[in-house]
């Protein structure tokens, strides 16, 4: 693993666990096992590092949800929370912490959410055999809500959203 990948992985663990604001550069240097000079050389600023973390998270998450049905989308989320944990969406948490005032983070969040919204619309269209913007929006809201509710309700929140999405999908077919 190269230095940048090691730093990004360490930063993701810390940002995900403690949040963007509470994760200081000292904690990052310690977790990555490098000097602050090396960290700044490879990361640039803390905001740039967070944007890189979000980019890597986006890549992994979008690969996880390369599915063809709404049910498979929620099954993928069940797998994601089993592996990654139930702390909510790192994108929305980092956006909330920074108030949208950090351009690197706001840009990464906006790009991810736009791509995610399109992916959900594509999955709904593949599942139904036609586009359905209303169902896509409902599925997206269920997915996002389940992701956050899992923080305090556990993985059963995802199972509940999966069941609700199945009902909505069945209704959309008729």
- Single out the residue in 44, 59, 76 at which a domain terminates: 44
Residue-level pLDDT at 38: 86
The segments of the chain whose pLDDT lies below 50 read: none
Residue-level pLDDT at 1: 65
**Model-level pTM?**
0.92
For residue 20, what are the domain limits?
A: 1-44
Q: Are residues 71 and 37 in the same domain?
A: no
Q: Are residues 94 and 31 in the same domain?
A: no
Q: Are residues 21 and 77 in the same domain?
A: no
Q: How many domains does the chain have?
A: 2
Q: Which residues of 132-164 are buried (b: 16+ CB within 10 A; e: fewer)?
A: beebbebbbebbbebbbbbeeeeeebbbbbbeb
Cα 27 from chain centre:
23
Q: Are residues 135 and 95 in the same domain?
A: yes
């Amino acid at each position: 693993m190269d230095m940048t990948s090691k730093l990004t992985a360490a930063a993701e663990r810390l940002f995900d666990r403690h949040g963007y604001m509470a994760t200081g550069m000292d904690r990052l240097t310690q977790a990555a096992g490098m000097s602050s000079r090396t960290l700044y050389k490879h990361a640039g600023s803390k905001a740039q590092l967070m944007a890189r973390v979000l980019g890597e998270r986006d890549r992994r998450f979008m690969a996880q949800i390369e599915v063809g049905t709404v049910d498979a989308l929620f099954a993928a989320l069940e797998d994601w929370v089993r592996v990654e944990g139930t702390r909510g969406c790192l994108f929305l948490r980092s956006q909330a912490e920074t108030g949208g005032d950090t351009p690197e983070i706001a840009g990464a969040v906006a790009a991810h959410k736009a791509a995610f919204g399109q992916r959900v619309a594509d999955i709904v269209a593949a599942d139904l055999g036609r586009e359905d913007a209303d169902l896509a929006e409902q599925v997206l809201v269920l997915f996002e809500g389940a992701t956050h509710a899992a923080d305090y309700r556990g993985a059963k929140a995802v199972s509940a959203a999966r069941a609700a999405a199945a009902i909505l999908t069945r209704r959309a077919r008729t």
